[in-house]
Structure 1
Amino acid sequence: MSETPPILIVDDQEKLLKLVILLMTRIGFPDVDGVTSGPEALERLRERKYALVISDLMMEPMDGLTLLREIRGDDALMNTPFILTEASFDFEDINLAHQAGADAFILKPFDMSVLKSKLKQVINRKPRRREAPLAAESALNVDFPMLGKF
């Protein structure tokens, strides 16, 4: 039996956090931890290696974008795949998150097929390199399939 990688879910709304953990378990990820704040997520990430972080964008006191920047700024954590979730994204959110190093965006409520495809895409991507200062260039090649739903 192959071991599935651990995933960390970050959402300041306890009910949504439990729901996402349940969804992840149902689609084949039995090793899922959940925390309700960015600082708690950073603490967990420094204790255990996660294959993926799925974080809500709008949280207090640390939002998902700040959490993402903290992770990308830490040499030990910078390659941790990161998906941002929110009920709606505007262009500025997507732009800022992409510049900060988000790997994908998923709209809430989750569409199971989109969730599965994003997980596969993000978990299988190549590691980042520090020496790539022009992240904006790659922004032009990003796939945002959920934007077609508007």
Structure 2
Amino acid sequence: MSETPPPILVVDDQEKLLRLVVMLMNRIGFPDVEGVTDGLQALERMRERRYALVIADLEMEPMDGIALLREIRADDALMNTPFILTEASFDFEDINVAHQAGADAFILKPFDMAVLKSKLKQVLNGKPRRREAPVAAETSLSMDFPMLGKF
């Protein structure tokens, strides 16, 4: 008997993209996927229910993906929730800021299914965070984001 896939929360202010991501997640084996259109709604849902993962768009209004991530990491009850940021393009500054805020991974839109599956496996099997021993971004960047290589 296989284990039931964990619940996932998707956050995107573009409703068509939100529905598409929810559908993709269902299609690859995650039947329990909820979608919301803004960061405030996401925080509200997360305080009502425990999610195994949040997938959020970087560019949203009124609360963008980084602000949502910072709120989650600052909340003791939510801080260990794995978090993936999505966007059509990332520049180095986006990646640096998101990494420092505690993002677990990035996925470019449109999603490549193999990359999506790989990132999901990596993030859902990750280790919980410990607030008392933050890891410096410089030392962990190449481990958490192998596509960036060593600095």
Structure 1 outlier segments of 4+, above 4 Å = none
> 1:62-102 CA deviation, whole Å, 9 max, x = no partner?
00000000000000000000000000000000000000000
Alignment match, 2:50:
49
User: Number of paired residues?
Assistant: 147
Tell me by how many angstroms 1:138 deviates.
1.5
> 1:97-129 CA deviation, whole Å, 9 max, x = no partner?
000000000000000000000000000001000
Alignment match, 1:85:
86
Alignment of 1:126-145 (within 5 A): 126-136=127-137, 137-145=139-147
Alignment match, 1:94:
95
User: What is the CA RMSD across the aligned residues, in angstroms?
Assistant: 1.4
Tell me by how many angstroms 1:144 deviates.
4.2
Tell me by how many angstroms 1:3 deviates.
1.3
Identity %: 78
Tell me by how many angstroms 1:135 deviates.
2.9
Alignment match, 1:26:
27
SS at match of 1:141: helix
Is the contact made by 2:57 and 2:87 (CA closer than 8 Å) also made in structure 1?
A: yes
The amino acid across from 1:112 in the alignment is: M
Mind listing any 5+ residue stretches in structure 1 that lack a counterpart? none
Mind listing any 5+ residue stretches in structure 2 that lack a counterpart? none
Distance of 1:39 and 1:62 partners within structure 2 = 7
Normalized against structure 1, the TM-score is what?
0.94
Normalized against structure 2, the TM-score is what?
0.93
